[in-house]
């Protein structure tokens, strides 16, 4: 189950993520922002940045608006944590990239997420992206299609792009939701999917108990269409289900959660990094009791997601997080 080839992330509805933090805020108030940041994002690009933080080279592909394309390149270049590990090969298309806003109330430990609609996708744009991916993707590549998908009228085009990458010998990872996820899954092209609990319920069309046993049972219902089901559970950790077994993982120990934004993306990035065969000796200390690839990778994933939640990805190194964050992985 190891990841041997280059990792290519593909975002079809990317964004600029603006995060504003306040030390307490409520409706109707006029407050000075405690801190603010803005960076190119969207789930696919978050995964690219998480991989780079762990020292993993990758390629960031997908759509980006021509109106702010150069601004995105400058921002990516200025983000020191990437250290040149992310090769940007976005497809420039007509229009501007959406801007999303997250408001974080640090005094009351709560967040609000404001999302704009992405309007970059068109048949012309998707055909151009498909052509660009043919020049990037090769046998053994891991293609991560993550984030919101274009409107329903374009889902067929997205499925065609995914099939094209699969036919070139790539492993397909999908982290999306709704009808798009169902249609992609039905093709049998996906190797790994990463739903959260609610997305898993929607995918199966039934209630699923948020317990390790309940999630494993639900995940196993999908193994005729996909090899790996990685289920994120928020602060409860995650569960991974394969034909070889199932494991649950969680963080042991506490620190202040600064933000949950992007934690699921970092979880997926950590799992892919954990499957990379070039693992350090420290993989033995990732908290996994079972040394299978999936169980071990889950331990890495839990640590990366926890580092994101605690804000360590901004000020600490991956080696520090790997050493200091404790994760426990158990077979279910």
The 3-state secondary structure of 44-93 reads: HHHHHHHHHHCCCCEEEEEEEEHHHHHHHHHHHHHCHHHCCCEEECCEEE
* CA distance linking residue 100 with residue 104, whole number of Å: 13
26 burial via Cβ count (<10 Å: 0-12, 13-18, 19+):
exposed
pLDDT for position 83: 64
Stated length of the chain: 332
* CA distance linking residue 185 with residue 257, whole number of Å: 33
pLDDT for position 44: 96
pTM of the model: 0.88
Q: What are the angstrom distances between the C-alpha of 149 and each of 152, 174, 232, 289, 321?
A: 8, 11, 19, 37, 32
pLDDT for position 289: 42
Is the CB of residue 71 less than 8 Å from the CB of residue 103?
no
Is residue 331 within a helix (H) or strand (E), and if so which, with residue range?
A: strand 326-331
93 burial via Cβ count (<10 Å: 0-12, 13-18, 19+):
buried
* CA distance linking residue 238 with residue 54, whole number of Å: 20
Q: What is the pLDDT of residues 91-108, one digit of tens each?
A: 999 999 999 998 989 899
* CA distance linking residue 219 with residue 229, whole number of Å: 6
Is the CB of residue 59 less than 8 Å from the CB of residue 51?
no
* Residue numbers of the chain with a pLDDT score lower than 50: 81, 277-291
Question: To the nearest 10°, the Cα dihedral for 223, 13, 144, 54?
Answer: -130
Q: Which domains does the chain have, with CATH numbers?
A: 1-27+35-193 (3.40.1190.20), 232-332 (no CATH)
pLDDT for position 152: 85
Is the CB of residue 290 less than 8 Å from the CB of residue 331?
yes
Is residue 265 within a helix (H) or strand (E), and if so which, with residue range?
A: helix 263-275
Is the CB of residue 324 less than 8 Å from the CB of residue 61?
no
pLDDT for position 82: 61
* CA distance linking residue 216 with residue 298, whole number of Å: 14
pLDDT for position 81: 46
* CA distance linking residue 121 with residue 125, whole number of Å: 6
């Amino acid at each position: 189950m190891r990841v041997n080839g280059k990792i290519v992330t593909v975002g079809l509805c990317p964004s600029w993520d603006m995060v504003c933090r306040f030390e307490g805020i409520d409706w109707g108030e006029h407050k000075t922002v405690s801190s603010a940041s803005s960076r190119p994002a969207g789930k696919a690009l978050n995964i690219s940045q998480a991989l780079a933080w762990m020292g993993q080279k990758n390629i960031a592909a997908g759509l980006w608006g021509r109106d702010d394309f150069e601004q995105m390149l400058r921002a990516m270049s200025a983000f020191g944590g990437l250290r040149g590990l992310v090769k940007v090969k976005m497809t420039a298309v007509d229009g501007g990239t959406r801007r999303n806003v997250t408001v974080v109330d640090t005094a009351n430990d709560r967040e609000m997420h404001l999302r704009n609609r992405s309007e970059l996708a068109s048949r012309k744009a998707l055909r151009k992206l498909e052509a660009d991916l043919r020049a990037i993707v090769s046998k053994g590549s891991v293609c991560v299609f993550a984030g919101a998908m274009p409107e329903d009228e374009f889902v067929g085009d997205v499925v065609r792009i995914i099939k094209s990458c699969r036919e070139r010998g790539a492993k397909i990872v999908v982290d999306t939701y709704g009808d798009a996820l169902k249609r992609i899954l039905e093709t049998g092209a996906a190797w790994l999917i990463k739903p959260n609990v609610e997305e898993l319920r929607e995918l199966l069309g039934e209630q699923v108990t948020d317990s390790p046993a309940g999630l494993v049972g639900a995940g196993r219902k999908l193994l005729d269409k996909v090899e790996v089901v990685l289920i994120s559970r928020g602060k409860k950790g995650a569960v991974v289900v394969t034909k070889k077994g199932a494991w649950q993982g969680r963080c042991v120990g506490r620190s202040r959660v600064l933000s949950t934004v992007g934690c699921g993306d970092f979880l997926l990035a950590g799992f892919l990094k954990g499957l990379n065969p070039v693992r350090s000796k420290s993989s033995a200390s990732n908290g996994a009791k079972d040394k299978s690839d999936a169980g071990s990778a889950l331990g890495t994933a839990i640590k990366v997601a926890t580092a994101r939640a605690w804000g360590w990805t901004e000020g600490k190194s991956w080696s520090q997080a790997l050493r200091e964050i404790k994760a426990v992985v158990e077979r279910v």
